[in-house]
Amino acid sequence: MEKIEYTDEGQFFSGHVACAGCVEALSMRVILNTLGKDTVGVVAPSCSAVILGGHPMSAAKIPVLHGTLESAAASASGVKRALKAQGRDDTTVLCLAGDGGTYDIGLQALSSAAERNEDILYVCFDNEGYMNTGGQKSSSTPRNAATGSTPFGKTTRKKNLIEILAAHRIPYIATVSPSHLNDMAAKIAKAQTIEGTKVVIVLIPCLPGWGVADNDAVATARLGVESGVFPLFEIEDGVRYTMTKSDKSDAINGYLKKQKRYRHLTEADRADLQAEVDETWSRLLAQAETTV
Amino acid sequence: MNAPAFADDMQLLNGNHAVAWGVRLAGPDVAPLYPITPQTPILEKLIEFQSSGAFQAELLTPESEHSAMAAAIAASATGARVFTATSSQGLLLMHELLHFASGARTPIVMFNVNRTPASPWGFWPDQIDSLSQRDTGWVQLYSENPQDSLDSVIQAFRIAEATNLPVMINHDAFYVSHSVEPVSLPSPEAVTDFLPRQARDIQLGDGSGRSLGAPIDQASWNRTRRDLDEAMKTVEQFAIDASQVWEKQTGRASAPLEFYRYHDAEIVFVTMGSMCGTAREAIDRLRTSGIKAGLLKVRLFRPLPNEALRDALRGAQHAIVLDRNYSPGTGGVLHQELRSVLFGTQDPPRLHGYLAGVGGLSVPEERLEALATEVRDTVPAANSLWLE
């Protein structure tokens, strides 16, 4: 088992209000401690906003602007420019948003910030749906997953946000998982040193939203990574792909079986999903090899 | 009204370029800007100033007015002096964030060029875009001409920073935004004296680690609105002070309410924006005919100076409200507001509400002159009437 090596700088407090066993809180702890105290946060309405807790308490030691759902990247741009105008350009500006606030309603503002190459670090906690409102589908929800608004399973694919972002040619995009915390810390630390727009997507298996057992979120995330459903990789300047793990196990069945949102699947459905994962994985490997 | 003599400190400027000069002199740190007709010359002039090195703000050009306002709020909360500008659809797109800005107590100054909202599309002077934002917690000023717009921008920063409230200044599309007049430019030193950089409450990144806008309980939310109410109550006096200090420096007053040939007026026009100029011409004609007419110009619309309006209207026999806006189901917004102000007062003037120039129609001074005679023998209608 891998030893977790990041240092706890006391940037994330106990007493937060995440669900017991939630790996978003775990990820926030790693991310906030990696970035350190010279950081200002912008949080979109999402599980992150809830986890940080109600005023006047806050689980984050850094100051946080609780902005509107569709404008996290625009708000972060405003913070960064104001700090720059006041001679505080070294401060890291961090966005924390969910997939609804990133793939859906916040995409326009994020695309614009990326086009302007604003010097912000945008972290998307991707739990593949509107889990904070009780579990409805977002454009990040994968095919066949059951949600409150897709009770028989979603009929269309998960939006490939990463390719959309890569097309903006921003300096850094990475995927990370709470099952690989050292990798998460390393990528966040790397992103912090890069000037321009950085986006990090974090896989967050949602306990109630996905129907995962309270003690199983890390294992579920690990299966997601190992089966290639959620590959770990980096893209620099939109074109240089680097696989963090360049092998995957054959089957996604183990990953699917951990989640009640997939329990209605037929063998044919599972085969379709497997084919989708295999195809995406091959394309990704080809892009990484081309880069090398 | 006679055109002012052309002095050395004057330039020929249209309303929007006068705004840009006011902004340049006020020196904001951050300016998120998104183009929209007929606001765009403000954006273009500021970018021209920045390119020449005369204006040093961080300029953002995001993808929408919504993001422009989101960035403005965040930058203001982080301690920056912030300006933005918009019009019509852009202002309406910002609506959610207008509430957010006042709730967050961010002293942003925004210039809005009043334009008809779609549908159907139109690009004409009409004030319903900003008047329909009256409940969002923004201070609202209405400017009559380019000089008024320049002076108002500079005064708005002072009012905003004294109260931690956002301020929106409005002028009419084309009638003001694109009309060229001689405009007196104050010296940079005078503006620096008028707008000193003062330590103010910085909500984000002040070193304390406190957050802004996190969820709160009912009682605490209620308290934020009581605080907002207290702040709103101080605006009128700050606006008067700003006008008086500005008058000492420049010789030009721009008070919350302004008056023209008003002292002994029996028939008064009450209006906002460029319509005031037309009313002045009509009043001169009426006075020549021996009719005691006058103008009450409402420059500060939010917060509405209720007591001052009551005092001003005491003694007038007829008040003709000219609304270049139409609120469906209500009529003219200023008419509605003045009925509220006068309700319960003793011997109020007869209040005649007219929807005048809605959609940018030209209202000739002769029409207003005739109107003053028509209303003398008329019992006012409960509703606003369309000016034929």
What is the tally of structural domains in chain B? 2
Contact assessment for residue B166 and residue B72, using Cβ atoms and an 8 Å cutoff = no
Statement to judge: residues B261 and B163 lie in one domain: no
The pLDDT of residue B4 is above 80: no
Average pLDDT on B9-36 reads: 97
The angle formed by the CA atoms of residues A207, A212 and A214, to the nearest 5 degrees, is 65
**In the prediction, which pLDDT does B3 show?**
52
**Which residues does chain A have within 8 Å of residue B62's beta carbon, measured at their own beta carbons?**
74, 77, 109, 112-113, 116
Does some domain include residue B374? yes
Statement to judge: residues B80 and B218 lie in one domain: yes
**In the prediction, which pLDDT does A292 show?**
61
| CB-based contact, A169 to chain B, within 8 Å | no
- The sign of the torsion formed by the CA atoms of A85, A89, A91, A93 equals positive
- The sign of the torsion formed by the CA atoms of B215, A45, A85, B46 equals negative
Looking at the DSSP assignment, which residues form a beta bridge with residue B215?
none
User: Residue A239 corresponds to which tokens in the numbers above?
Assistant: 């074109």
Task: Give the chain A residue whose CA is nearest to the CA of B61.
Answer: A116
The per-residue pLDDT for range B278-311, each reduced to its tens digit, is 999 999 999 999 999 999 999 999 999 999 999 9
Determine, for residues A81 and B215 on separate chains, whether the beta-carbon distance falls below 8 Å: no
Statement to judge: residues B149 and B26 lie in one domain: yes
For testing the chain B interface, which of A37, A42, A46, A81 should be mutated: the one with the most B CBs within 10 Å?
A81
**Which residues does chain A have within 8 Å of residue B97's beta carbon, measured at their own beta carbons?**
68, 71
Statement to judge: residues B231 and B285 lie in one domain: no
**Which residues does chain B have within 8 Å of residue A59's beta carbon, measured at their own beta carbons?**
none
Query: How is residue A229 annotated by DSSP?
Result: S
B164-to-A97, A174, B77 alpha-carbon distances in Å: 28, 40, 10
CATH-assigned architecture of domain A23-291: 3-Layer(aba) Sandwich (3.40)
Q: Which of A49, A74, A88 sits opposite B67 (nearest CB)?
A: A74
The per-residue pLDDT for range B49-99, each reduced to its tens digit, is 999 999 999 999 999 999 999 999 999 999 999 999 999 999 999 999 999
From B192, B221, B250, give the residue that closes a domain. Answer: B250
A116 CA: distance to closest CA in chain B (Å): 8
Does some domain include residue B302? yes
Does some domain include residue B286? yes
Determine, for residues A81 and B76 on separate chains, whether the beta-carbon distance falls below 8 Å: no
Mean pLDDT value across chain B: 96
Does some domain include residue B4? no
The per-residue pLDDT for range B137-166, each reduced to its tens digit, is 999 999 999 999 999 999 999 999 999 999
The pLDDT of residue B173 is above 60: yes
**In the prediction, which pLDDT does A1 show?**
62
Low-confidence ranges of chain A (pLDDT < 70): 1, 292
Statement to judge: residues B235 and B266 lie in one domain: no
Statement to judge: residues B123 and B271 lie in one domain: no
Give the whole-number percent of chain B exceeding pLDDT 90. Answer: 94
| CB-based contact, A112 to chain B, within 8 Å | yes
| CB-based contact, A114 to chain B, within 8 Å | no
**In the prediction, which pLDDT does B29 show?**
98
User: Residue B345 corresponds to which tokens in the numbers above?
Assistant: 């007062």
Looking at the DSSP assignment, which residues form a beta bridge with residue B59?
B31
Does some domain include residue B2? no
Statement to judge: residues B34 and B182 lie in one domain: yes
- Could you tell me where the DSSP H helices lie in chain A? 23-35, 47-52, 72-85, 107-115, 161-167, 181-193, 207-210, 217-226, 253-257, 267-291
Statement to judge: residues B285 and B158 lie in one domain: no
CB-side exposure of A128: number of CA atoms within 13 Å?
28
Range of the domain at B353: 257-386
For testing the chain A interface, which of B55, B60, B98 should be mutated: the one with the most A CBs within 10 Å?
B60
Average pLDDT on B265-289 reads: 98
Statement to judge: residues B194 and B321 lie in one domain: no
Does some domain include residue B199? yes
**In the prediction, which pLDDT does B2 show?**
47
**In the prediction, which pLDDT does B1 show?**
45
Q: Which of A40, A74, A85 sits opposite B29 (nearest CB)?
A: A85
DSSP, residue by residue, B93-137: HTHHHHHHHHHTT---EEEEEE-PPSSS------THHHHTTTTSS
Does some domain include residue B170? yes
Task: Give the chain B residue whose CA is nearest to the CA of A58.
Answer: B211
**Which residues does chain A have within 8 Å of residue B29's beta carbon, measured at their own beta carbons?**
82, 85-86
The answer for A 119-158 residues in CB contact with B (under 8 A) is none
CATH number at residue B287: 3.40.50.920
Statement to judge: residues B160 and B221 lie in one domain: yes
What is the enclosing helix (H) or strand (E) of B168? strand B167-172
Contact assessment for residue B96 and residue A68, using Cβ atoms and an 8 Å cutoff = yes
Statement to judge: residues B210 and B301 lie in one domain: no
Q: Domain limits of chain A?
A: 23-291
| CB-based contact, B74 to chain A, within 8 Å | yes
Statement to judge: residues B96 and B204 lie in one domain: yes
Determine, for residues A54 and B79 on separate chains, whether the beta-carbon distance falls below 8 Å: no
